[in-house]
Structure 1
C-alpha cells in the first residue's frame, strides 16, 4: 500500500468532489508520490479518510480506469498503471537533481547509504549467535497445526524480556505473539474496534499506523504533540481508542511526561476508550531510565505492542501484545475465524536467543553502538548550525527545514547521491504544519557509512 496521500477537498467549489479526488490522484502520480504498480487505498478507506461517501471515490476510480491511468484487479484492488500529467499540462521533469534539484529529479539510483528511520542495527547481530539460534530453533519438530496465541516458550521469554528491559511484570498468559506492531494494530482494528469508530493518533505520527487504521474503515482523528509528547487535553471525547508512542514519540522523539501518562490513563477510564501503546524502540534509551510504561500504569485500559524488528531484524517477523483478557480473547477469536497467526519460526529464534542470554548481550551492544552514533549525528548537525529534535533515545532524530519544498528537495537530491533520507511531511494524517528530515542512524553497517551519508546531507543543506 502506498503512503498516505495529502488531499484537501473543497466542498464549495463548482468542480464535483469525484473529479477533485481524481485530479489529486493524477497529481500525486505525476509528482512521483505514486509509482506504476502501487496499490491504491480501497474506495471505502479513501472515502472514510476524506469524509465523503463511497460513491464519490468509486466514481473517481472509475474515471481514472476509463482514462487508463489505473487498473482494477478483481480481488486485489486498484493499481497505478501509468504516469499521467498534472492537470493543466505540467509533467514531471526528467532533468538531473544535480543540475536543478528544486525542479524535480530523475529516478534515484539504489541507495548506498540508508539514513531512513525504522531500521535496526542488523549488522550488530553476531554471526555465530545468529546461526546458533537458528540451529536451536531447527531442533524442534515441524508443527502440525498453527498456534494462534503463540508458542508458550516464546510468550514466557517475552514476559521475561519485558520485566528485565522494560520493567513490566506480566505472566506469559497475558502475552500474545504477533507479526510485529503494524500487524498487531491491524488485528486490533479488526477484532476490537468497529468500522466507523474514531481513533485518535499523534500528529505528526507513525504513517503506517494511520494507514492500517484507515484500511480497517476507522476514522482517524489527529491530535497534536509538543515537547512533552501527546497533548492529552486535546483528545476528543468520542474517540474509541488512542494510538500513541509514549516512550519515544515517532517521529519527533519526545517522551510522554509522567503527568500526561497519568492523565491519559484517567482519560481512557473516564471515556471507556482503549490506549494502544506502541513501544517500537522502548529498549533503546541512552540518558535516563525510561518512565513506567502505560501498560504498567493502566493495565485495564492499555494494549502494549512491541517488536523484535527494531532491536534485531525484521527477518524474524514477530512481536508481542500485552492486553486485558477481553481484548486477547477478541484477537484470538479473530485469528481463528480468519485462519491466521504469527510466524512460529521467528518465535523459536527469539526464544533461543533469550534463553541463552544472547538477546540481552545483543541489546547491550546495540545500546552502546547507537548511543555513540546518535552523538556523532547530533554533534555534526550542531556544528553545521542545525537544531536537533528528539530525546537521547531510539535510532533516529529530526532536524527541521524551512518548508515542504526544502524537505522534498533534500530527499530527492540526497537520493541522486546515493543516500536515502526520509521526511517529516509524510507523518501527518492531515495537512503538515512543519517540515524536517528524519535521520535514522542504525541501518548503516559501519560508522564510516553513517558519517559519509550524513556529510552528503549536510553538504546539500549548506549548498
Structure 2
C-alpha cells in the first residue's frame, strides 16, 4: 500500500500478502500480519487502515476475508472504529504487549448490509416482525411504574430469575431454581463473564471446529489459548478432547454451523471427560426452542449441573435488540461470576428485565414462541424441498448446512450475491484448516416467499455445478 497523506485520510505503508496454499484461513493470515505490524511499530496508534473494500481489492481476496480479520482485531482491542470516519489502530498503553482484555467489540461499521431487493439468507438473524404488538405494549407499560434505580443486582432481578427458571424447567427440562440463574446481556456477554471468572492468561479453552467465532474471540481476548476441537455430523468429537482444557464451549442441541445434535451416549462420554479432567463445559442452547420432527434431547446441564454452565438468549426467539440472555450454573460458580461482574461495574438494563419478566409471567413469550415455531417450520420445509439431500442439520434452529465441493463454494456464493441472494460460507467459521465445506443458510430473517426464491436461485446454481454442460 502506498503512503498518501491528506487532510481526510492517511494510508499506512505495511506490506501484506496472502498464501492460498498455506492451509491457514486468509482472514487469519491478514489479522496476524496486522497484529504483528502493530507490535513491531510499523503501525502506530491513530493511523487509519484502508477500508475493507480497498484492502480486499489490493490483496485480491473477498471483502469478507478482510472484514473478518478486522472484526477479530476489533474484538481483541487492536483497532478502534470512529463512526463515519473509518478504522484506526487503537491507542495502546505504553509498553503493553497486548490490548486490555476488557476491550471487545463484535460489529464493524462497514459490515455489508442487504440492500433493496436483496434476500438475506445469512445465519444468526431471527424474524423480528412476528411479535404480538399488544403484548409488547402491555409489557412495557408496566415498566413505567418503576422509578429509575441507582444500582442493580449483579444476578439480575429476582422476579425475572424466577420466571426464567420456570421457563427453562418447562421448555428444556432444566432442573434449576432462581438461585441458579444469572441475567446477562446475551450469549457473548455471558461468555465473557465466564471467561473473566474462570480463565487466566495461558489457560487452554476449547471451541468447536468449525464453530461460533465469538467464543474464540472472547476466550482469546481474555488471554486464553484457544484449542479447536473437531466436530462431525453429530457434534463435538469427545475422543479429540485433550485433558488440559479449563473450559470447553459447545453447542450440543444444534451444532453451529454444521447442525448436528449430540446423541445421548456421546453426551455421557463428554460429561465423564469433564468429571475426570475437572473442566467446565459451557453449553450454548442458542436456538433450542425451535425443533422439527424430533423430540428435544435433555440439556447437558440437566445431566450434570456441577460441571456445566448453560447459556441462553432471547436473540433468536424474540430479538437481538433486547440485549438479554441468561446463564445457569451451580451456586458456587454463579457467586464467583456475580462477584466478578460487580468488580467490572457491569449490569443489564433494569427496564428490559422487567419487560421480559412481564412477557414470561403473562404467558406472552410462550405464545410468541409457538407462533414462531410454526413460521420457521414452514421456511425450513421450503429449504429442504428445494435443496434436497445437500441439506444437513435441519432438525432444529434457524439455519442449515448446504454441503458443496470445496472449490465450488466461493463461486456459488459470489454468483448468488450477483443475483441478489446473500449467503454465508463455512470458511468464516473455521479457526484453522477447513474441515467442512459448504454454505451456512439462515432462514430466520427472510420472509417465506424470499426463502423460496433465494433457495430456488441456489438450487439452480447447484444444478449448474452438477451438470455444467447442460
C-alpha displacement of 1:169: 2.0
Task: Tell me the residue number matched to 2:91.
Answer: 74
Q: Take 2:147 and 2:113, find their aligned partners in 1: how far apart are those partners?
A: 47
4+ runs of 1 displaced by more than 6 Å? Answer: 25-29
Summarize the Cα distance change of 1:167–1:37 in structure 2 as closer, same or farther, 3 Å threshold: closer
**Preserved CA contact (<8 Å) 1:41 1:215:** no
Task: Tell me the residue number matched to 1:144.
Answer: 150
Q: Take 1:234 and 1:161, find their aligned partners in 2: how far apart are those partners?
A: 34
Summarize the Cα distance change of 1:242–1:36 in structure 2 as closer, same or farther, 3 Å threshold: closer
Q: Which runs of 5+ in 2 are unaligned?
A: 1-24, 43-51, 80-85, 94-98, 104-111, 465-470
SS at match of 1:210: helix
Q: Which runs of 5+ in 1 are unaligned?
A: 10-14, 47-57, 62-68, 79-105
C-alpha displacement of 1:409: 2.7
> Are residue 416 (structure 1) and residue 448 (structure 2) matched?
no
C-alpha displacement of 1:131: 1.9
> Are residue 34 (structure 1) and residue 49 (structure 2) matched?
no
1:11-68 superposed Cα distances (whole Å, 9 cap, x missing partner)? xxxx9x958x99xx9779732222599465279x69xxxxxxxxxxx9xx9xxxxxxx
**Preserved CA contact (<8 Å) 2:236 2:250:** yes
**Preserved CA contact (<8 Å) 2:199 2:222:** no
Summarize the Cα distance change of 1:225–1:156 in structure 2 as closer, same or farther, 3 Å threshold: same
Task: Tell me the residue number matched to 1:393.
Answer: 396
Task: Tell me the residue number matched to 1:281.
Answer: 287
Task: Tell me the residue number matched to 2:195.
Answer: 189
Summarize the Cα distance change of 1:29–1:171 in structure 2 as closer, same or farther, 3 Å threshold: farther
**Preserved CA contact (<8 Å) 2:28 2:69:** no
- Of structures 1 and 2, the one with the larger relative CO (CA 8 A, separation 6+) is 1
Task: Tell me the residue number matched to 1:299.
Answer: 305
TM-score (norm 2): 0.78
Q: Take 1:185 and 1:37, find their aligned partners in 2: how far apart are those partners?
A: 21
Aligned residues: 400
Summarize the Cα distance change of 1:107–1:146 in structure 2 as closer, same or farther, 3 Å threshold: closer
Task: Tell me the residue number matched to 1:447.
Answer: 448
Write the mapping of 1:239-388 to structure 2, written as runs, cut at 5 A: 239-382=245-388, 386-388=389-391
Task: Tell me the residue number matched to 1:438.
Answer: 440
C-alpha displacement of 1:136: 2.2
Q: Take 1:129 and 1:240, find their aligned partners in 2: how far apart are those partners?
A: 43
**Preserved CA contact (<8 Å) 1:253 1:397:** yes
C-alpha displacement of 1:130: 1.9
C-alpha displacement of 1:350: 1.4
CA RMSD across the alignment = 3.2
1:246-293 superposed Cα distances (whole Å, 9 cap, x missing partner)? 111111111101011111111111101100000001111122221111
C-alpha displacement of 1:365: 0.9
TM-score (norm 1): 0.79
**Preserved CA contact (<8 Å) 1:251 1:438:** yes
Summarize the Cα distance change of 1:108–1:345 in structure 2 as closer, same or farther, 3 Å threshold: closer
SS at match of 1:222: strand
**Preserved CA contact (<8 Å) 2:209 2:430:** yes
